[in-house]
Structure formats: C-alpha cells, structure tokens
Amino acid sequence: MHFDFDFLLDTLRQLIAAVPTTLGLFFCSLILGGLLSLVIVTMRVSPHWLPNRFARAYILVFRGSPLLIQMFLVYYGMGQFGVIRESFLWPVLREPYMCAVLSLALCTAGYTAEIIRGGLMAVPVGQIEAGYSIGLSGFALLRRVIGPIALRQCLPAYSTEAVLLVKSTALASLVTVWEVTGVAQQIIQQTYRTTEVFICAALIYLFLNFVIVRLLGLLETRLSRHLRAAPAQSAPNRPVSTTTEARRATP
C-alpha cells in the first residue's frame, strides 16, 4: 500500500480542525457527568432504601446497556414526549450536539459514581475515627481526611474512565455531530481511502489520551507525594571493638 504524504498532511489538517468539537464533547460531558455522579453516589451510600435503590437502578441501567442505544434514545426519543417539546429546554435539547453531551454525561455518571464509591469505601475507618476524636466537623472531616484519601484512590480508575470517554465521543458522529470520527467518515466518502484516514484519526485520539493520562498521572503523583518514604538516614559508623581489643582494655 502506497502512502501519499501530501494526502496524509491534508487529512490531518482537516481532522485537527475537528478536535475542538471532540474536546468540547469530552469536557462538557465530563463536567456534567461528574456533577451528576456526585448526586448518584450520595444516594448510593444513603442509608434510606428509596434513594439507595434508585441509585442502584441508575447505575445498573447505564452501565449495563450500550452507549450507542442510549444516545439513539436521547436523540430520537426525547422528541416523542410532548412535555419535553413544549418545555423551555427543547430549543437546546433538540440540537444533536447537546443530545450527544447529555447521553455521554448520563453514561459516564454511572461509571464515575461507582468509582467514587469505591474510593470512599477505601478510606480507613481509623482515619475517620481519628478525625472525629480531634473534634473535626463533618464538612472538615470530608475536606481534610475523607476527600483527599478517596480522590487518591479514585484517580487510577478515573483516568481509565476519562480515556474511555474520549473514545466514546466518536459515537457522536452517528447523531450528526461532526467531530474527529465524523470528519474522517466524510473524507472517506469523498476519497475512498479508508486506511490512511483512520490511521490519522487514531493518531489524534492517541495523542489526546496520552495528554489526559499524563495530566491525571501528575495529579496522582502530587497527591501521593507524602506517601513516598524519605530515604532512611544511615547511622554513623562506629568502630567495632574486637575481642582482643576488648580484652586489652580490660584492667
């Protein structure tokens, strides 16, 4: 197979022009999904059965069904309800971009809620009891003890979820949002050069995910810096007396 480097450069230029759309989908759904996940995890750890069961059902539905089906239901299904069409949100919700953001956010919220719950469950009970024993209030305990430990525990799994979310933005092209994958499909329809175009698209996704993983890795390192033990200071060398020397020193 012969690669036309001029064609590759032109393809990269067109795909890079679509990167802001991909990043917009990613950040909007990440923020919205993160806020929603905080609500879900609060309900998930609630001792009351009604919010707890609702959170369990939400997580089961959005983790157990394909994202593509969820996106189609949001894009094609919301318009079937007259209440939604007549609401003040309809001018926003009828846009393909917002439908893609909403479906991505709803899906990632289910995964993120379980990641956060796992981080909270990993906080040692002794740390919480110690916080109460020194008189910390509930908010101060959350901010100074539970939050930092849980965040440190969540970051490895959350970085994986962030990478999956970047790759999931490619599905937005199926609801007419022209991000990187959508533009790649348009180029293929015009040129019939599938391999070169998708290689260029894959390189862009690899670069974006590399940057995200590195940034989250740096944050994890910063939060864990106090766990790295300082090098133990060696004790000063002392001369060891031999048995003969000890005997000579004996009067």
Break the chain into its structural domains and give their ranges.
5-224
Q: Write down how long the chain is.
A: 251
17/29 Cα distance (integer angstroms): 20
Is there a contact between 129 and 155 (Cβ–Cβ < 8 Å)? no
Is there a contact between 127 and 149 (Cβ–Cβ < 8 Å)? yes
62/55 Cα distance (integer angstroms): 11
Amino acid occupying residue 53: R
Q: Is it true that domain 5-224 has CATH number 3.40.190.290? A: no
Helices assigned H by DSSP within the chain: 5-17, 19-44, 49-64, 67-72, 82-85, 90-93, 96-121, 125-133, 138-141, 147-168, 180-191, 194-223, 243-249
pLDDT at 138 (0 to 100): 72
189/187 Cα distance (integer angstroms): 5
Helix (H, G, I), strand (E, B) or coil at 191: helix
Q: How far is CA 94 from the centre of its chain?
A: 27
pLDDT at 250 (0 to 100): 45
Ramachandran region, residue 78 (left: φ > 0; alpha: ψ -120 to 50; beta: rest): alpha
41/203 Cα distance (integer angstroms): 35
pLDDT at 248 (0 to 100): 42
Instruction: Report CA Rg, the chain.
Output: 27
99/212 Cα distance (integer angstroms): 24
Q: What is the pLDDT along the chain (251 residues), one digit of tens a residue?
A: 566 788 999 999 999 999 999 999 999 999 999 999 999 999 998 989 999 999 999 999 999 999 999 999 999 988 888 888 888 888 888 899 999 999 999 999 999 999 999 988 888 888 777 877 787 777 777 777 788 888 888 998 999 999 999 999 999 999 999 999 999 999 999 998 999 999 999 999 999 999 999 999 998 888 777 666 545 454 455 554 444 444 444 44
